Amino acid sequence: MTDSLPDEAFWRGRRVFLTGHTGFKGGWLTLWLRSLGAEVCGYSLTPSTEPSLFEAARIGEACRSIIGDIRDLPALEQAFRDFEPDIVLHLAAQPLVRRSYQDPLETYSTNVMGTAHVLDLVRRAPDVQAALIVTTDKCYENLEQMTPYRETDRLGGRDPYSNSKACAELVTQSYWWSYFSAAGVPAVASARAGNVVGGGDWSPDRLVPDLMQAFAEGRPAILRNPDAVRPWQHVLEPCCGYLLAVEHICRTQAVSPPAWNFGPDAEGNVAVGEIAAGLAAAWGEDASLEVQCDLNAVHEATLLTLDHTKARTDLGWRPRWSLPTTLAKTADWYRAHRAGNDMRAMSEQQLSDYVSA
């Protein structure tokens, strides 16, 4: 099996409209696209945290940055038409499970109607060649089963976030069958990635940001669900897959709505407690952990793994960094930020390390 990486010749000079560029994945993807020679227009809300990867790594300098809401169709359409993209990467979302319980309407309007807005602009754009809709591994109906989920498994979700992402997948499938299944129209696909870690994520109620903040402050990090198993991977792993997926759909004619899982090999399917212990060891400096289970917590799945055979077969994609390397790179990034280092240079160096792995 080949070990594929994005093709610089494909991306050089491409005009890429990227929603969600102020977010965690969107920021890393913007840096990668810039390194490949693409021209990026980012459209997103202001960063939702302080600090943020967007500010720390100066992502706004790597693209044409537009602050806007994907729920605001006239503003989104104006930005889209002004830029005239070749490629669309849709990452903007309300990405937090616990927040989705607090504000389900925001979650559905962003994740479902926001996706519909993007797809409809693609449908009406004469020059777009391809669009990738990024969802999540939580789009599957989670039966708490040992068997990893495949792209053909049933979509679903109990909590508003997971359910909204399943809905976004259904919207994408409907648009594909209705508008994008013939020759000569934009190629459209979806991508479903597992839990990502890496430098620059400060979202609330996420494991790595909570751990890094606690370690930096010299206090014990609190684990609320240490036995939950997830597919853990560095953020650059799915970003690599997203770019390969776009290249693939531009070269091939699909017979059904294309979708790919991007997740780790078996070694990355581990419990929260194991990830926390690995990050504590990588951080050093007497980092400590404390378990405080909340019996009144909202429902979150305790077992979720992905089968990425299809991505290997179709795209030549595979995970490049082992779990220990992933955790070490993550801790290195946050330590560098704490020390006041140039985080744009640090991020670009880690991207270079990933490509040359």
pLDDT of residue 50: 94
- 155-203: pLDDT as tens digits: 999 999 999 999 999 999 999 999 999 999 999 999 999 899 999 999 9
- 227-254: pLDDT as tens digits: 999 999 999 999 999 999 999 999 999 9
Task: Please give the helix or strand (H or E) that residue 325 lies within, else none.
Answer: helix 323-338
pLDDT of residue 301: 66
Report the distance separating Cα 154 and Cα 143, nearest Å. 10
Mean pLDDT of the residues in the chain: 95
Say which residues have a Cβ less than 8 Å from residue 88's Cβ, sequence separation at least 6.
16, 17, 18, 19, 118, 121, 122, 128, 130, 131, 132
Cβ contact 93:45 at 8 Å = no
Cβ contact 323:197 at 8 Å = no
- Residue (of 98, 32, 7, 2) closest to 351 by Cα position: 32
The Cβ of residue 146 has, within 10 Å, a number of other Cβ atoms equal to 8
Cβ contact 199:347 at 8 Å = yes
For residue 42, which amino acid is it?
Answer: G
pLDDT of residue 145: 87
- Region 266-281 average pLDDT: 94
Report the distance separating Cα 104 and Cα 101, nearest Å. 6
Residue 262 reports pLDDT greater than 60: yes
pLDDT grade for 120, boundaries at 50, 70 and 90 = very high
- The SS3 call for residue 90 is strand
- Region 296-312 average pLDDT: 82
Q: Look at 327 and 146; give whichever has higher pLDDT.
A: 327
Report the distance separating Cα 166 and Cα 221, nearest Å. 32
- 52-89: pLDDT as tens digits: 999 999 999 999 999 999 999 999 999 999 999 999 99
> Per-residue DSSP letters for 182-230?
STTS-EEEEEEE-EEE-TT---TT-HHHHHHHHHHHTSPEEES-TT-EE
* Phi, psi of 266, rounded to the nearest 5 degrees: -55, -35
pLDDT of residue 23: 97
Report the distance separating Cα 10 and Cα 182, nearest Å. 23
- 97-106: pLDDT as tens digits: 999 999 999 9
pLDDT grade for 297, boundaries at 50, 70 and 90 = low
pLDDT of residue 86: 97
pTM of the model: 0.96
pLDDT grade for 1, boundaries at 50, 70 and 90 = very low
pLDDT of residue 171: 98
Report the distance separating Cα 308 and Cα 317, nearest Å. 9
- Region 130-145 average pLDDT: 95
